[in-house]
Amino acid sequence: MEAAGSHIRVYRIEHGPSAKNEAAQPPTQEIAATAAKQYRELAAQFGPVGSGELNIVELPNDTVPAASAPEIAAIAGNQLEAADYARLLVNTIAHQWWGEDVSPASPNDAWITNGMCRYAELEYVGRTAAPNVAADAILNVSASALAFNRVTLADVARYPEFSREFEAMTYDKGAMILRMLRWQIGDAAFQQTLHEVLSQPDKSISSAKFEQIAEEEPTKICGRSSLNG
Instruction: Determine phi and psi for 114, rounding to 5 degrees.
Output: -65, -40
Examine the pLDDT at 157 and tell me if it is beyond 70: yes
Rounded Cα distance between 212 and 201, Å, is 16
- pLDDT category of residue 23 using cuts at 50, 70 and 90: low
Q: What is the pTM of this model?
A: 0.90
The pLDDT value given to residue 226: 34
pLDDT, tens digit (0-9, with 9 covering 90-100), for 89-129: 999 999 999 999 999 999 999 999 999 999 999 999 999 99
pLDDT, tens digit (0-9, with 9 covering 90-100), for 171-225: 999 999 999 999 999 999 999 999 999 999 989 999 999 999 999 987 665 444 4
The pLDDT value given to residue 58: 97
The pLDDT value given to residue 22: 55
